[in-house]
Amino acid sequence: MTLTIVLLGAAALIGIGLYGALSQQSFVMLMMGLELMLNGALLAVIGFWSLSLGGMPEGQLLAIIVMAVMAVEMAIGFALVVAIYRKRQADMTESIGTLKG
């Protein structure tokens, strides 16, 4: 029961995150959407580890990996945003539309 609630929460977080990723114009807000999706993944993995998989150690490892992914993506993302902002004073996805077709 608890697991289901946790997983439903995770599903909701993933849905909201996806909404954010799709709808936000600002790079930073967009990344928040991605973070939220990963937050959902984190919630799910905690739930699975604790309530379903008998606390197997790989579960914790996966949680750490989820965090690592978040951190790594954020770091590189911010670096890119900085670089682009410096060249173009642009912080929105619409402003990088040169490459197309």
Partner 1 sequence: MTDLWVALLALFAVWTGWRVFRVDSMVRASFSLMLSFIAVGAIGVLLSAPYIGVATVFMMAVEMMVMAIFMVMFMMNPAGLNPMVMVHQHRLSIGAGVVAALSLGAAVLFSRPPDDAVRAEADVVAELGHELLGPSMLIFETAGVTLLATMVGAVILSSRQGRFGAADEGSRPPGLSDGGAPAGRQPEGGGGHHHHHHHGGHG
Partner 2 sequence: MIWSLAYLPALAGQAIWALGGPRGRVATLALGAAAVTLALAVAVGGRTGAFAWSDAIALQAALPPLAQAVAILVPAVLGPIILFAASHEDAAGLPRLLGLMLVFTGGMELIVIAADLVTLLIGWEIVGACSWALIGHKWRQQAPGLSANFAFVMTRAGDLGLFLAVMATFAGAGRVGYDALGALDGWAQALAAFGLLLAAASKAGQVPFAPWLFRAMDGPTPVSALLHSATMVAAGVYILARLHPQLSGAPGFAATAMVVGLGTAILGGAVALRQGHAKKLLAGSTSAQMGLMIATVGAGYPVVAVLHLIVHATTKAALFCAAGLAQGVTGSFDLKDMRLGRRVPVAAALAGVAALSLAAVPSLAGGWSKEEMVKAVEHAGPFWTAAMVIAGGLGAAYATRFWVAAFGPGDDDAPAVPRGEIGALSALALATLALSALWLPAVHDPVASWFGIALPEGSILGQVASLTAVAIGVLAGLRLARTGLEAQSRDWLGLPELYQRGVIEPFHALANTFARVDDAIVDLIPRGVAGIGFAAAGRLSRADDDAIDGLAPVAARRVGRGAVALAVRSTEALASLGAGIGERLSDLIPTASGRLTGMAGADLRGLQTGLAHHYYTILTVGIALAVGLMNFGG
Partner 3 sequence: MPIGDLAPELTVLLTAVAVLLLAMVLPQRRHGWCAGLAVLGLGLSMALALGQAGAERLTFSGTYALDPGTTWARLAIPGLAILCAGLAPRWLATDRRHGEFYAMLLFSTLGALAMAGAADLMQLVMGVLLSSVTGYVLAAYHRDWEISLEAGMKYFLVGALANAFLVIGVVFVMGIAGSTDYATLSGQIFEDPLALIGLTLVLTGLFFKLGAVPVHTWVPDVAEGAPVPAAAFLTVVPKLAGAVALFRLVHLAPGLAALPLLIALVAAATMTVGNLTAIWQDDLRRLIGWSSVSQTGYALMAVAVVGVAPMALPALLGFMTVYGLANVVAFAVVAELRGRTRIADYRGLLRARPGAVVALTLAFLSLVGIPPLAGFLGKFALFSATLGTGFGWLAVVAVANTVVSLFYYLRVIAPAVFAAPEGPVETLGGLARAVLWISVAILVGATVLWAPFWASLGQGLLP
- From 1, 2, 22, 87, residue interacting with partner 2 (rule: CB under 8 A): 22
Give dist(CA 93, CA 72) in Å, integer: 20
As given in the structure block, the two tokens for residue 14 are 């993933």
Give dist(CA 88, CA 7) in Å, integer: 42
Asked if 18 is part of the footprint of partner 2 (rule: CB under 8 A), the reply reads yes
Task: Please say whether the beta carbons of 17 and 40 come within 8 A.
Answer: yes
Asked if 76 is part of the footprint of partner 2 (rule: CB under 8 A), the reply reads no
Asked if 34 is part of the footprint of partner 1 (rule: CB under 8 A), the reply reads no
Min dist CB 36 to partner 3, Å, is: 10
Asked if 2 is part of the footprint of partner 2 (rule: CB under 8 A), the reply reads no
> Which positions lie near partner 2, rule CB under 8 A?
18, 21-23, 25, 30, 93-94, 96-101
